[in-house]
Structure 1
Amino acid sequence: MVDDVRLMERTERGRAADLLRFATAGSVDDGKSTLIGRLLYDSKAIFEDQLAAVETVSAARGDEYTNLALLTDGLRAEREQGITIDVAYRYFATPRRKFIIADTPGHIQYTRNMVTGASTADLALVLVDARKGIVEQSRRHAFLCSLLRVPHLVLCVNKMDLVDWSEDVFEAIAEEFTDFAAKLDVPDLTIIPISALHGDNVVTRSQKMPWYEGPSLLHHLEHVHIASDRNLVDVRFPVQYVIRPQSTRYPDYRGYAGQVASGVMKPGDEVMVLPSGFTTRIAGIDTADGPVDEAYPPMSVTVRLADELDVSRGDLICRVHNAPKPAQDIDALICWMDEAAVLEPRRKLAVKHTTRSARVVVKELQYRLDVNTLHRDESAEALKLNEIGRVRLRTTLPLLADEYRRNRTTGGFILIDEQTNRTVAAGMIIDAG
């Protein structure tokens, strides 16, 4: 009986860790919000009062059907225009896996929102309208997903009901997109024909497309393998908070709390603390549920060290022979997100990298990238809203960084306007040296 209880506890912990974050992208009116609404509805992930509210709004708008897109288009401006502006996050679960969905905008002027939604995604869904095929926005979003190193990409050819479930139409779109994806860094590509409005191939296989032999979208989402996507080689533990409880029960307790960015940590491992360079061993790893034998991403834990070292927020715990080189000169790709100002050389900003904060100056704008043609404009003098470019930065404090392609957590950062405290850019480190 005790063994059964322990098995159940381990199973529950495994299920809790099996979380898939995915983002939807595509051109306007390709059906992203309808697709998510269909996933929520067919997987029984919405409450009766939510469905009733959607039915009421659908009737008020004059829709002849229950408009499931309203489940995610939460802003009034979105409902009035019938488009998605903000990034709408939704949560649902099936017996096999838990999901967090980021419904990102399709309009070109909301590129920054799409970057925000896809930056933490394990998988990206790019929707295309079967009648229109691959359009500029489809290529743009696929490129942004590859730029953000999203490990898995799914192309959903939507509205197959409007092309009479044609296999020829689907194959032509699939071939065109596959050829384009070959130019990008897309490690895993899956293409599925669907009808989000009617639910074909969304949760269950459709009988109207017998020529398609692949899985439904939900089946693919439930079974796509994401464990190997995490970097389990390079131990990176940014210290977020020093825990020293003032109590007689734990008079000598000193722990360092944070989230494991990559690698596997175990008690007894020899580690190094950066930027000081002092070495020690891990004395123990604690969680809210008690001590554990190992920690791995994305676990939030408290690490206790064998020696009393001067460790504070912004420091990094790593392996002795596998450590990032502290760097103040950074080459990075920047997505500019501020409407009021531009990014230009000599501009001074604040940088937030993992748990470390510093100030930064833009030394050079090397080029602006046209994400539609992949052309590099080396004559660009500034980056405006939603534009992406490569810059060289100089920081006041060394960043403990990796290349973004190697580690999305320690390779990413944000830039902040110190006067307004607004986040003005998201960055991906190309080289830290």
Structure 2
Amino acid sequence: MLDNNQLLRFTTAGSVDDGKSTLIGRLLYDSKSIFEDQLQAIENTSKKKGHDGVDLALFTDGLRDEREQGITIDVAYRYFTTPKRKFIIADTPGHIQYTRNMVTGASTANAAIILVDARHGVIEQTKRHSFIASLLQIPHVIVCINKMDLVDYSEEVYNNVINQFEEFASKLLVNDIRFIPISALNGDNVVNRSTNMDWYQGAPLLHTLETMHISSDINKVDARFPVQTVLRPQSESHRDYRGYAGRMASGIFRLGDEVTVLPSGFTSKIKTIDTLDKSLEEAYAPMSISVTLEDDIDISRGDMIVKSNNKPEPSQDIEVMLCWLHNNPAKPRAKYSIRHTSNEQKAMIKEIVYKFDINTLERKSEDKDIKMNDISKVKIRTTKPLMVDSYRENRTTGSIILIDEATNETVAAGMVV
């Protein structure tokens, strides 16, 4: 039964000490999703640190540095299952210098939990994380107003935080925003309904996560097939086989479909669609397949096969929303490697259009310095054309990364606009 459950990926974000790790620990603890040996180890560590009960934050703060400092540094992925749904949690750091980690953790999420300390209300990090959730097209945002036990479970405080967040969120592109008053430490409205806040008539957090509708983020309309490799078997029975292997990024291919190979522009029809053990009548994202065409065309890794009546325009000048991930700032007109699906080319940042002020969402066109955690709109020039769609229409073909050629380190992640 569980194998047929929908999988929900969600990320948690908030400022330092807002209680993200404690909240996830409470979710795992109260939903009985922790193995006995894990629980025993956490109980022992909690006693050594002088806690009266179980320190729930230790369930996610797995790195030694995190445990020593009592903060979350890296993205911690946790998995748990209830009778209604399976979950993958990305617990992301709250510190401003780890905003890049939040981008990483949120990039595949169906929902984002934004934690707000009821005592402090909406602060800079709340806005930063909410903006990133909007930028990454996360369809559902759950604002958990935490530490309600420290404000005497006040409905007035809860409503004030809602008003603060809604005023800011009016500038964001998020369709579904929900608010839940919780105490992660005491378990109020996390798994079980709170008896301390009978004025709240909504569902607790776990029930909200279990019943939330998940729509696929895979584009089913635009057929995009980035070629990863060319298959030329040496066996006698397949000597004439020339297959193009890769993973469907979006859309559907069927036998006989008229297709165009980009960037060359040559056209043909799909002859066969094959997997490891059988041939198919059709294939759809995110299946890994090999296709053969009716015509001999020069195709190599990085090319893209698309339907002839629905194709992107290959481009060497691309506008991208860029999140800078590296300690070293972006260098003016410096050369990088750009990776887009299976395609890798040389590229440079041609122009910085503007930077975002995360607090106000103001666009600063005069500020041309891109440092770690900055989010900017830039123009990128590539040596050869890339077949991109906008990130809003297609997450796979609308995303890129930049790599420092000297160190091979990823320096930025971008979304095509």
Q: Mapping of 1:304-343 within 5 angstroms?
A: 304-339=292-327, 341-343=328-330
d(CA) in 2 for partners of 1:40, 1:251: 54
Structure-2 residue corresponding to 1:385: 372
Deviation at 1:185, TM superposition (A): 0.8
C-alpha spacing 1:98/1:276, structure 2 compared with 1 (3 Å): farther
Q: Distance in 2 between matches of 1:69 and 1:53?
A: 13
2:254 is paired with a residue whose SS is coil
SS where residue 239 of structure 1 aligns? strand
Structure 1 residues 286 and 165: CA distance shift in structure 2, 3 A? farther
Q: Is this contact kept in 1: 2:339–2:402, CA < 8 A? A: yes
Amino acid across the alignment from 1:356: N
1:265 counterpart = 2:253: yes
User: Does 2:111 match 1:123?
Assistant: yes
Q: Deviations over 1:43-78 (max 9, x none)?
A: 333221111111111111111121121111111111
Match of 1:414 among 393, 401, 413: 401
* Deviation (angstroms), 1:358: 0.3
Determine what percentage of the aligned residue pairs are the same residue. Answer: 60
- In 1, the alpha carbon distance for the partners of 2:139 and 2:378 equals 25
Structure 2: distance between partners of 1:293 and 1:163? 61
Query: Is 1:395 the equivalent of 2:353?
Result: no
Q: Is the 8 A contact 1:271 1:282 kept in 2?
A: yes
More displaced stretch, 116-125 vs 295-304: 295-304
Aligned partner of 2:159 among 160, 167, 171? 171
**Other-structure match for 2:21:** 33
1:172 partner letter: N
State the shift of 1:155 in Å. 0.9
Query: What is the CA RMSD across the aligned residues, in angstroms?
Result: 2.2
SS at match of 1:271: strand
In the alignment, the residues of structure 1 paired with residue 341 and residue 211 of structure 2 have an alpha-carbon distance, to the nearest angstrom, of 30
Aligned pairs for 1:226-237 within 5 A: 226-237=214-225
Conservation of the 8 A alpha-carbon contact between 2:262 and 2:303: yes
Does the CA contact (< 8 Å) of 1:233 and 1:263 recur in 2?
A: yes
| Pair 1:204 & 2:192 matched | yes
| CA deviation profile, 1:406-433 (whole Å, cap 9, x unmatched) | 2221111111110011111111212xxx
Give the secondary-structure state (helix, strand or coil) at the position aligned to 1:161: helix
The CA deviation at 1:157 is 1.3
State the alpha-carbon separation in 2 of the partners of residues 225 and 281 from structure 1. 38
When residues 256 and 166 of structure 1 are mapped into structure 2, their CA distance, relative to the original with a 3 A threshold, is farther
Aligned partner of 1:147 in structure 2 is: 135
Give 2:79's match in structure 1, choosing from 68, 77, 91: 91
Letter in 2 for 1:179: E
Question: What is the alpha-carbon distance in structure 1 between the residues aligned to residue 305 and residue 399 of structure 2?
Answer: 18
Instruction: Name the stretch that deviates more: 250-259 or 38-47.
Output: 250-259
Structure 1 pair 204/247, CA: closer, same or farther in 2 (3 Å)? farther
Cα distance in 2, alignment partners of residues 20 and 246 from structure 1: 43
The answer (yes or no) to whether the contact 1:144–1:371 under 8 Å persists in 2 is no
**Conserved 8 A contact 1:287-1:300:** yes
Retained in 2: the 8 A contact 1:345–1:365? Answer: no
Partner Cα distance (1:169, 1:98) in 2: 33
Query: Which region of structure 1 is more displaced relative to structure 2, 356-365 or 217-226?
Result: 217-226
Q: Which residue of 2 aligns with 1:101?
A: 89
2:218 and 2:395 in contact (8 A); partners too:
no
Q: Match for residue 404 of structure 1?
A: 391
CA-to-aligned-CA distance 1:2-41 (integer Å, 9 cap, x gap): xxxxxx9xx95x54xx332211111111111111222222
1:246 aligns with 2:234: yes
- Residue 265 of structure 1 and its aligned partner are, at CA, apart by 3.0
SS in 2 for 1:240: strand
* 1:327 partner amino acid: S
Contact 1:234 1:263 in 2 (8 A): yes
Cα pair distance change 1:210/1:250, threshold 3 Å: farther
Do the aligned partners of 2:30 and 2:191 also contact (CA within 8 Å) in 1? yes
Deviation at 1:260, TM superposition (A): 2.6
Q: Which residue of 2 aligns with 1:5?
A: none
Report if aligned partners of 1:274, 1:400 keep a CA contact under 8 Å in 2.
yes
From the superposition, tell whether residues 109 and 175 of structure 1 become closer, same or farther in structure 2 (CA, over 3 Å).
same
TM-score (norm 1): 0.89
**AA partner of residue 77 (structure 2):** Y
Distance of 1:390 and 1:126 partners within structure 2: 25
56, 63, 73: which is aligned to 2:51? 63
Whole-angstrom distance in 2 between the partners of 1:42 and 1:315: 49
Contact 1:151 1:229 in 2 (8 A): no
Partner of residue 42, structure 1? 30
Task: Name the SS of the counterpart of 1:189 in structure 2.
Answer: strand
Specify whether residues 239 and 39 from structure 1 end up closer, same or farther in structure 2 by C-alpha distance, changes over 3 A only.
farther
Q: Distance in 2 between the 1:420 and 1:334 partners? A: 20
Gaps of 5+ in 2: none
Partner of 1:186: 174
Kept in 1, the 8 Å contact 2:116–2:143? The answer is: yes
Which stretches in structure 1 are left out of the alignment for 5+ residues? Answer: 1-7
- Structure 1 stretch 224-233 or stretch 120-129: which is displaced more? 224-233
Query: How far apart, in 2, do the equivalents of 1:109 and 1:27 lie?
Result: 11
Residue aligned with 1:117, SS: helix
The Cα shift of 1:113 comes to 0.9
One-letter identity of the residue aligned with 2:139? P
1:351 aligned residue = 338
Q: 1:144 to 1:280 in 2, by over 3 A?
A: same
Residue type of the alignment partner of 2:416: I
- 2:348 aligned partner: 361
